[in-house]
Amino acid sequence: MKKEVFDVVIIGAGPSGAVAGAMLAQLNRKVLIIEKEYFPRFSIGESLLPQCMAFLSDAGLVDAVHSGAEKFAFQFKNGAAFSKQGQETFFDFTQKFSEGPGTTYQVKRADFDNLLAQGAQDKGVEIRYGHQVLAVDVDDELPSVTVKSESGEHYTVEGKFLLDASGFGRVLPRLLDLELPSSFPVRHSYFAHFQDNICDANFDRDKILITVHPEHQDIWYWLIPFSDGTASVGVVGEPEKFDQTHTPEQVLLQFIEQAPNLKHLLADAKVINSVQTIRGYSADVTRLHGDNYALLGNAGEFLDPVFSSGVTIALKSASLIVPLIEDKLNGKKIDLAKDYAAPLKQGVDCFRTFVSAWYDGRFQDVIFFSEQEPHVRGMISSILAGYAWDLDNPYVAQSERRFNVLHQLCKSE
Ligand code: FAD
């Protein structure tokens, strides 16, 4: 049988794969996405950052997200609120330093991912659901993937370029031996959707609420409201903090009881799906590309969920790689180390500074400091809104150094 050849083959139809596919289709490229699941399917990662909206706009997908918002109970989001031992603070993303959208949504990922995948299909991308990539060969000029179809047959397709957007499936890191342990410790997360029944009038559904555990500053919770009276609630911490003899539901509910603000807000909440667990989610790779392939989103590095940066990084990776693939397909010489891996890593490293500072408590000192300059807060707000590639922001350009100076000023309180 004649082998099928596409301009680009993408493994995975999550946000990075769908957005890369849509952008390539806009350039009239012939794109195949192999997706092992059937959509809509559950996925974690429900609080978007405003920077995402710019990438969705470039991919021609933002209108579909706005028009689907009401139907799919996407919750308008304009910021992030933080709570620690009775102290409360929040960042309004519309009061940020960087140019660009200041609002976004909290989304049920099953519907959001399905919407993006359908948008990509509408632009001409072929998606084969229920097909799983089993093997790859990137040694020839044209990379190829071996796929198990939904009926169990194996077949091979070639692309002029291969993108791994397989997220936690980590197809190329596994098959090409690219795995690198994350520099962050192993952490576990327990989470579920609740009928939240929150009746406190002071609760702001337009913001994600991040709560620090009253005794352990490295354990934290998310409360992500949707617009239909449901919410996603999760807790994150190192494994030894969770009693493994308890069921995931017992663990999550016990931890909610330990945080007074959540205990109050969720007093009448009811779990509406089974409590799920993700163990050891942080991951890294030795390299993000070869000559004829690149890793997008979570298939590359995943830091941590605390600042909801995962989907933003995934979409940024798609938006960086597509023009480079286009140049390559047009016969131009491209430098993926300089123009893909380095710029992507610059923003990831900025988030890394903030994630590290979150877990050792320095970020918490900074955000709860009472006399913060509004323009400094605007710069921090920009990063929390996902603008981690805006080098005009000093907290992006020199994140570690600037953050440490700021922390010295704030910790004296
Ligand atoms: P994915 O969304 O994982 O998509 C990968 C796709 O590839 C899947 O559909 C999968 O079925 C498919 N696939 C896998 N293997 C194969 C194969 N062999 N063949 C074919 N298809 C395959 N991010 C945020 O932005 N906001 C948040 O609030 C947030 N919260 C999080 C909370 C937790 C506890 C965790 C662990 C992560 C969180 N994230 C969050 C991160 C977010 O989940 C990811 O960053 C995001 O989903 C990455 O998108 P992606 O497109 O790279 O991969």
DSSP notation for 250-262: HHHHHHHHHSHHH
Confidence at residue 266, expressed as pLDDT on a 0 to 100 scale: 98
Inter-CA distances, 144 with 153, 161, 293, 297, 389, Å:
16, 9, 10, 21, 33
Q: Residue 21: CB partners within 8 Å, gap ≥ 6?
A: 8, 10, 13, 31, 33, 120, 123, 125, 127
The verdict on the CB of residue 77 being under 6 Å from ligand 1 is: no
Quote the ligand 1 centre to 233 CA distance (angstroms): 18
Confidence at residue 372, expressed as pLDDT on a 0 to 100 scale: 81
Inter-CA distances, 302 with 28, 122, 131, 281, Å:
31, 29, 24, 7
Contact between 226 and 70 under an 8 Å Cβ cutoff? The reply is no
pLDDT (tens digit, 0 to 9) for every residue of the chain, 413 residues total?
Answer: 668 999 999 999 999 999 999 999 999 999 999 999 999 999 999 999 999 999 999 999 999 999 999 999 999 999 999 999 999 999 999 999 999 999 999 999 999 999 999 999 999 999 999 999 999 999 999 999 999 999 999 999 999 999 999 999 999 999 999 999 999 999 999 999 999 999 999 999 999 999 999 999 999 999 999 999 999 999 999 999 999 899 999 999 999 999 999 999 999 999 999 999 999 999 999 999 999 999 999 999 999 999 999 999 999 999 999 999 999 999 999 999 999 999 999 999 999 999 999 999 999 999 999 888 999 999 999 999 999 999 999 999 999 999 999 999 887 55
Confidence at residue 187, expressed as pLDDT on a 0 to 100 scale: 97
Confidence at residue 412, expressed as pLDDT on a 0 to 100 scale: 59
Q: How far apart are the C-alpha atoms of 193 and 270, rounded to whole Å? A: 9
Confidence at residue 230, expressed as pLDDT on a 0 to 100 scale: 98
The verdict on the CB of residue 127 being under 6 Å from ligand 1 is: no
Which ligand 1 atom minimizes the distance to the CA of 309?
A: 25
Confidence at residue 304, expressed as pLDDT on a 0 to 100 scale: 95
Confidence at residue 370, expressed as pLDDT on a 0 to 100 scale: 80
Quote the ligand 1 centre to 280 CA distance (angstroms): 14
Residue nearest to atom 35 of ligand 1 (CA): 305
The verdict on the CB of residue 165 being under 6 Å from ligand 1 is: yes
| Token digits of residue 266 | 């969720």
Instruction: Report which of 230, 205, 207, 222 is spatially closest to residue 259, judged by C-alpha positions.
Output: 222
Which ligand 1 atom minimizes the distance to the CA of 302?
A: 45
Quote the ligand 1 centre to 175 CA distance (angstroms): 18
The verdict on the CB of residue 106 being under 6 Å from ligand 1 is: no
Which ligand 1 atom minimizes the distance to the CA of 224?
A: 28
Confidence at residue 2, expressed as pLDDT on a 0 to 100 scale: 65
Q: How far apart are the C-alpha atoms of 311 and 377, rounded to whole Å? A: 23
The verdict on the CB of residue 129 being under 6 Å from ligand 1 is: no
Q: Tell me the pTM.
A: 0.98
Which ligand 1 atom minimizes the distance to the CA of 41?
A: 9
